Amino acid sequence: MVNDGDCVAIFHSVHRVMKAEKVLKGRQLDVLLIPAPRQLSADCGMAIRYPYELHSEVKQALATFSLPLVDVWWMKAGKYQLLA
């Protein structure tokens, strides 16, 4: 479900991830609501997947709506890397 070059954004609650999805899709960004990968251990069990190329736009949009991220992970060479 997560391919190389994808980012996975983790939130504290289902409410926040659903609101983030609405905000990001409202900006016509290519995002998808997915079950959070187990190895990332999300509290709410849901996450948002998007291409790495959109990372800056996603962070900016979420900040505009005061939607804090727990973590953002990037899939590279089949392994997750935490983005700073």
**pLDDT for residue 38:** 85
In the chain, DSSP assigns E strands to 6-10, 32-35, 46-51, 71-76, 79-82
**pLDDT for residue 39:** 85
Tokens encoding 37: 């990968």
pTM score of the predicted model: 0.91
The pLDDT tens digits along the chain (84 residues) read 899 999 999 998 899 999 999 999 999 999 999 999 888 865 668 999 999 999 999 999 999 999 999 999 999 999 999 996
**pLDDT for residue 65:** 94
> Which residues partner with 76 through β-bridges?
79
Domain ranges of the chain: 6-82
- CATH T-level fold of 6-82: Alpha-Beta Plaits (3.30.70)
